[in-house]
Chains A and B, each alone.
Chain A
Amino acid sequence: MSDTSHDPKQGPVPSRRAFLRGAAATGAGLAAGGAAAQNAPDPLITQVQDWASGTGDGVDATPYGMPIEFESDVIRRNVEWLTADTISSINFTPIHALDGTITPQGCAFERHHSGAIELRKEDYRLMIHGLVDTPLVFTYADLERFPRVNKTFFLECAANTGMEWAGAQLNGAQFTHGMIHNMEYSGVSLRTLLDEAGLTSAGDFKDKWIYVEGADASSNGRSIPLEKALDDVMIAFKANGEALRKEHGYPVRLVVPGWEGNLWVKWLRRIEVTAQAIESREETSKYTDTLEDGTARKWTWVMDAKSVVTSPSPQAPITHGKGPLVVTGLAWSGRGAITGVDVTIDGGKTWQKARLAAAGQPMALTRFYLDIDWDGSEMFVQSRCHDDTGYVQPTKNQLRDVRGLNSVYHNNCIQTWWVKETGEAENVEVS
């Protein structure tokens, strides 16, 4: 068959997504292997192309650059029917189209309870009060003068994969697992700030809490044990080297490593040291997990170990036919570092150990690869990760056995993609 999609005479190449769809449909018909014979010389090689002859954009064409137009499908997407309104809603990171581990801010998912507000650094104030020796107010400029730290962490919404409790529902890794991002944060350790206010008044730290709140209309208040606050919590003002985006809490957000995203309060304005949990709406009505008998777990802060194959997947079908295939995905654990990832292509009859792109880092995303020679037959692809506490990611049925079907949050089950002979993939559950 001829590979017309690359012929410059055909005019503009169709969008990458349309191309993927078309190619997927005919994928199985493509010649196997990378070294397919070429009968006629490739005009992309034999003819002088415009870009090899004329000139491109000068510097300053885009003082702040955006991805090239051909990547315009690599964007956050929302599922309209999930919520009444986009102002209190969520969208999803296009993890199916990303590689490596760092999530660019521009496509990192958003979750707001009353919209993303615009708060200037000049108008920003952070108050620390409650059981501290001296209640203090900091400006943004004050925060920049504290000794600084840089750390990379994943943020996962507790509801990530939540729509899948009852059954396979959304067709794409972006929608099933895209409430996650992973960034390198620069900021100040919360311990440093609490220390500046003094904690002698707090007495025994063991039964004390901090209550954190944002400057937006929802305020999204949450209680966090003081011991966690003093352990590894950060106040961040930069992510991946540049200022936080508005939608992620510019100018200052809380970073709570390994714990559910709702605790990472954006537009952070107040930290109160308290003698009890406040039991705010976000820690009672929401972010609690109803079990089979109707009782609910509360204070389920830690995100358990989880992994997902990002490609091949429904939005990232195989377009090249049989032969060498890169199976890749992400793994993470809120309780420590990923120590290994296993991948199966036969729905769990046999498992192989995937290759980690780099050794797992605590509470940060780990990229894995499995390089296989695909024979073109259907596959049931799954991944399963292990962390350094000795925990292994469970199946959906193992979780349902403990929790029943009515939980929404903390679904860290093994995900299955049914990859068909055409290279297309679908979200399924298997026995």
Chain B
Amino acid sequence: MSKYLKVALISAACVTGGAAPSFAADLGLGRAALPAEIAAWDKDVSPDGTGLPVGSGSVEDGEMIFSETCASCHGEFAEGVDNWPKLAGGMDTLDHEDPTKTVGSYWPYLSTTFDYVRRSMPFGAAQTISDDDVYAMVAYILYSNDLVEEDFVLSQDNFLEVEMPNADGFIIDDRPQTEYSQFTSDTACYDNCKDSVEITMRAAVLDVTPEETSSPAPALAPAAVVETAPQEPAVEVAPLEPVDIVASFDADLAAKGEKVFKKCKACHQVGEDAKNKTGPILNGVIGAPIAHVDGFKYSKDFLAAKEQGRMWDEALLAEFLAKPKAVFKRTKMSFAGLKKDSEIASVIEYLKSVSQ
């Protein structure tokens, strides 16, 4: 490392920041990062393809994987379920009121889709998908947006050839030119600034502000922060059969399980006001039949098990939570599984405590 440059930087800091600490030595703190460590964390992919791993995947494979691991939130055709993000559609809507921004209609670079899916999806089980499968899913998302044909195979070799419709749709922040020259203090008026003041819009008319006890359903789709449609009303759930709770119950263990349950909350709710989300309500699941919530759209595997009269006993649930797909190959629960037996035991104990 260049001591010369370092001294230059530090003296610059001392001039500009009055309170900046001054020191001029290499502190020798930290240790060299190993290549394997950098490789493990350095996963970002840039618009020019820097960082793309070797691999490939077809629309056909992507469709299967997407349906298994992504469709529960993003829909079979990437069209989005309820409030979860839409990944396809919305072409030519950007200049409309409430534009639909998707990978197809809005995203300027394909690298972003690869980068994001590989690093952050599926929600609740990020970084569990192989690079080939990521290629396949990105190919499928392109297909859902009518940007490639159904026999398309995406790889690191043809990645940059895919044209994104909105690639030219962005400009670099131009507020200094378009706004700052207009909004200046010397234009500020203090007296006789206008003749009359009339109310043109009232928040109370919309009435979407949360109340202390309950939140009202919005009257109008808002220009929301996260750009989503209003929430669907809670799904009605048939009353549950009384469950025969396993005799032993360990409250301390259940308390630990409540913490583990955070990993499940992306998809499951429990308790009095629980609603079906991506996954079914889990009240009273222990000792209940498989697919125990009427009206929830379970996978075929689950429904078949229900037909056979199979039940969720602790042993089966433990097996399922360790590796969902090992028990039900085609389960819609896209969750990698809990790694520690202690986590499995405690979360089961917790589920017993929310059996009503």
Contacts and interface: CB of A to CB of B under 8 A. Distances in A.
A304 B184 CA distance: 12
Contacts of B210: 77-80, 175
B108 interface: yes
A218 interface: yes
Nearest to A270: B41
B53 interface: no
Given A172-B209, A276-B47, A298-B170, A147 B231 contact: no
16 contacts: A81-B217, A82-B225, A87-B123, A114-B126, A171-B209, A221-B44, A232-B17, A299-B172, A349-B194, A349-B195, A390-B186, A398-B182, A405-B223, A406-B98, A427-B202, A428-B203
B209 A293 contact: no
B188 A349 contact: no
Given A298-B172, A402-B178, A402-B179, A386 B29 contact: no
B130 interface: no
Interface string A146-185: 1111110000010100110111111110010000000000
B30 A142 contact: yes
The list of the 9 closest CB pairs from A to B, nearest first, reads A198-B1, A147-B21, A347-B197, A84-B83, A294-B95, A294-B94, A427-B203, A135-B33, A217-B126
B339 interface: no
B273 to A, nearest CB: 11
Contact of A168 (B16, B46, B203): B203
Contacts of B9: 191, 195, 199, 230
A253 interface: no
Contact of A426 (B179, B192, B202, B212): B202
Contact of B2 (A87, A133, A304, A406): A133
A297 B174 CA distance: 7
Interface stretch (A29-37, A47-55, A280-288): A280-288
Given A129-B38, A284-B108, 6 more contacts: A90-B225, A163-B222, A167-B201, A270-B42, A285-B101, A297-B174
Contacts, number: 339
Nearest to B7: A195
A332 to B, nearest CB: 16
B94 A426 contact: no
A408 interface: yes
B32 A136 contact: yes
Interface stretch (B64-72, B109-117, B133-141, B151-159): B109-117
Given A149-B19, A279-B109, A428 B277 contact: no
Contact of A428 (B23, B46, B202): B202
B107 A163 contact: no
A200 B5 contact: yes
A296 B230 contact: no
B226 A269 contact: no
Contacts of A270: 41-42
Contacts of A398: 182-183
B198 A431 contact: yes
Contacts of A266: none
Contacts of A405: 97, 223
A94 to B, nearest CB: 13
Nearest to B33: A135
Given A81-B215, A276-B46, A297-B172, A348 B194 contact: yes
A392 B68 CA distance: 53
A423 B202 CA distance: 17
Interface string B6-50: 100110010011011111001101111100011001101111101
Contacts of A142: 29-30
B185 A390 contact: yes
A196 B190 contact: no
Contacts of A279: 46-47, 108-109, 111-112
Given A80-B210, A134-B32, A348-B193, A219 B119 contact: yes
Given A83-B83, A191-B9, A276-B48, A428 B201 contact: yes
Interface in A365-381: 380
A170 B215 contact: no
Interface of B: 1-2, 5-6, 9-10, 13, 16-17, 19-23, 26-27, 29-33, 37-38, 41-42, 44-48, 50, 82-84, 94-95, 97-99, 101, 103, 106-109, 111-112, 115-116, 119-120, 123-124, 126-127, 169-175, 178-180, 182-204, 206, 208-210, 212, 215, 217-218, 222-228, 230-231, 262, 265-266, 277
A4 interface: no
A391 B203 contact: no
A211 B44 contact: yes
A349 B209 contact: no
Contact of B200 (A133, A211, A231, A429): A429
Contacts of B178: 402
Q: Which of B5, B192, B226 counts the most chain A CB atoms within 10 A?
A: B226
Contacts of B212: 17
A285 B6 contact: no
B203 A171 contact: yes
A430 B202 CA distance: 9
Contacts of B197: 346-349, 380, 430-431
B94 A290 contact: yes
A272 interface: yes
Given A80-B210, A294-B99, A299-B173, A429 B199 contact: yes
Contacts of A389: 180
A5 interface: no
Given A114-B123, A189-B13, A391 B180 contact: yes
A197 interface: yes
Contacts of A349: 192-195, 197
Q: Which of A136, A285, A405 counts the most chain B CB atoms within 10 A?
A: A285
